[in-house]
Amino acid sequence: MNRKVLFIALFVISIGGLAFVQYRYLRIGLSLARLQFGQHIADAGGDIRSGLYGNNQLTYLLGSVLERDSTRFNTGLDHMTDASRHFLEDYLREKLIDNEIDADFTFELMTRDSSYYLTSAVNSSRPTDRRFAYPIELEGYLPMRIGQRLILQLQFADLTTYFLLQLNGLTFPSLLFLAGILVAVLWVLRTYYWQQRTISTTHEFINNLTHELRTPVFSISLAAKILKEKVPEEQKALTETILQQTARVSGHIDQVLELGSLERASASIPLEPIDFAPALGVLCEQFRSLCELEGIPFEFELPDGPILLDGSVFHLENTVNNLLDNARKYGKGSPVHLSARRQSGRLLISVSDQGPGMAAEEKSRIFKKYYRITEGDRQDVRGYGLGLSYVKTVIDRHRGTIRVKSQPGRGTEITVELPLRNHGEQSI
C-alpha cells in the first residue's frame, strides 16, 4: 500500500476513533445528567409538596381559583386566574433553582381524572409525547378544600439541550481540541504535499541540468584525447590531467543522476560478486597523480590479495573517490591518507586528513543532502553538499556502516565498513 494512502487512512481512522470516543463519553454524560436531574426533581418535588401543604396566601388563592370563587377578592375571576398562574410559576421556579434546576418548564394543576383546573400561561394544550412530565401529588389544604386528589405536573420540553449545556465543560473543550487536532494534521498534510511537489520540481530541474552538462563534458574529453596525440611528450601530462578531470566531472554528473534514482524507494543497487582490489588500486594511483600536481602529500595502504565483496564497482569507486576528494578539498593542503584492511569478515576503508576538523554536532549533519558546514572558510571550497549524501546512501544499500571521527583543529577520519563476500547475486 502506498505510504501516503496509509498515513491518510490512519489519520481518518484516528479522527473517527476520537469522534466515536467523544460520542460515547457524551452518551455516558447524558445518562449521568438524566440521573442527576431525576434526583434533583425529586428533591424539588418534596419542597414543592411541603410548601403547598398548608393554608397560606398562595394555596388560598389557588383554592379560590379552582373553586371559581371570587367573592372574597375585589377583582374578577379571570384576573385571579392570571395572578395565580404567575404566582405559582414563580414559586415553582424558585424551588427548582434551589435544587439546581434552571430549565424552562410549564405546569398543569389537575385532578386525578385529568380534568384541567389550571395550567401555565404558555401551556394551552395537553402535553405532547416530546415533553418530559414529572407529576407531584399534592397533599394537605388544597385537596381537602376541593374534595379531590390534585396532581401538579411539571413539564420540560427539551431536556437534551439542557443536559448538553450542563455538560459544556466536557463537550465544548473536547470538540475544540478535536477540531484543533484536525486543523493541525491537515496543515501537516498540506505542508507535506507542498514539500513533495517542491522536491519533485527540484529533482526534475537537477536531472535536466545534469543531462545538459553531458554534451560539453563529452566534447571537452574528446578534444583532450585528440590534443593528447599532437602535443609534445612533456605536455602530455597536462592533457592527461584534463582527461582525468573531465572523467571526474562526468562521474559527478552520473553520481547526481544515480543519487536521484537511489532516493526512490523502488530503486536498488544490484550486488554482484566482485574483487574490489584492482579498482581500489587504480583509483588510489589516479588520486596520487592529482595530488602530485597540487602538491598534496598522499599515502595509501591496501591489503594483499583480492578484496571479495558483493557490491557494485561503479558505486563503490564513486564512494571512495568522494571521500578522497573531500579530504583533498577540505584538508587545506594537509596530508591525505587512505588505509584499507580486513577485520572480522568486513572491509574497513579509512580516509583521513589533518585539516580543520569539525564540531561534534556536525558529524551527523554532513550526510544530509545539500548540507555544507558554514564554519570557518569551508564555503570558499566549491561543492553542492551531495557527495557525502551519496556515500551514505551507497553504503546503506551495501549493508555497510560509516563512522566519522573528528575534532576541531585535529583533522577528520571517515571509515567505511562493508561486509566481505556473501556468495550469490542479490539486489537490495
Is domain 268-427 given the CATH code 1.10.540.10 in the classification? Answer: no
Helix (H) or strand (E) holding 152: strand 150-156
Residue 93 has pLDDT above 80, yes or no: yes
Query: 423 versus 367: which is more confidently predicted?
Result: 367
Q: How large is the average pLDDT for residues 70-80?
A: 79
**One-character DSSP codes across 19-82:** HHHHHHHHHHHHHHHHHHHHHHHHHHHHHHHHHTTS--HHHHHHHHHHHT--TTSSS-HHHHHH
| 263 contacts: CB under 8 Å, gap ≥ 6 | 393
Q: How large is the average pLDDT for residues 295-323?
A: 92
Radius of gyration from C-alpha coordinates of the chain: 45
pLDDT band per the 50, 70, 90 thresholds, residue 216: confident
Domain residue ranges in the chain: 3-166, 268-427
Per-residue pLDDT tens for 39-56? 888 999 999 999 999 999
Neighbours of 330 (CB within 10 A): 21
- Tell me how many degrees the CA angle 106-111-116 measures, rounded to the nearest 5: 55
Contact 52, 59 (CB under 8 A): yes
Q: How far apart are CA 327 and CA 324, in angstroms?
A: 5
Mean pLDDT of the chain: 82
Per-residue pLDDT tens for 115-136? 657 888 765 444 444 568 889 9
24-48: b (≥16 Cβ within 10 Å) or e: eebeebbeebeeebeeebebbbeeb
Position 413 scores a pLDDT of 94
- Type of residue at 193: Y
| 238 contacts: CB under 8 Å, gap ≥ 6 | 231
pLDDT band per the 50, 70, 90 thresholds, residue 424: very low
Residue 341 has pLDDT above 60, yes or no: yes
Q: Which residue has the cell 541540468?
A: 209
Position 379 scores a pLDDT of 47
- CA 384 vs. chain centroid, Å, equals 30
Q: How far apart are CA 37 and CA 44, in angstroms?
A: 10
Q: How large is the average pLDDT for residues 319-324?
A: 92
156-176: b (≥16 Cβ within 10 Å) or e: bbebeebbbebbeeebeebee
Position 285 scores a pLDDT of 92
Position 284 scores a pLDDT of 94
DSSP state of 334: -
Q: How far apart are CA 37 and CA 413, in angstroms?
A: 76
Per-residue pLDDT tens for 168-214? 666 677 778 778 888 887 888 788 788 878 877 877 777 777 777 77
For the chain, give the percent of residues with pLDDT over 70.
87
Q: How large is the average pLDDT for residues 77-86?
A: 87
- CA 175 vs. chain centroid, Å, equals 19
Query: 98 versus 202: which is more confidently predicted?
Result: 98
Residue 81 has pLDDT above 80, yes or no: yes
Residue 255 has pLDDT above 70, yes or no: no
- Which range has highest mean pLDDT (20-24, 226-230, 311-315)? 311-315
Residue 1 has pLDDT above 60, yes or no: no
Position 346 scores a pLDDT of 93
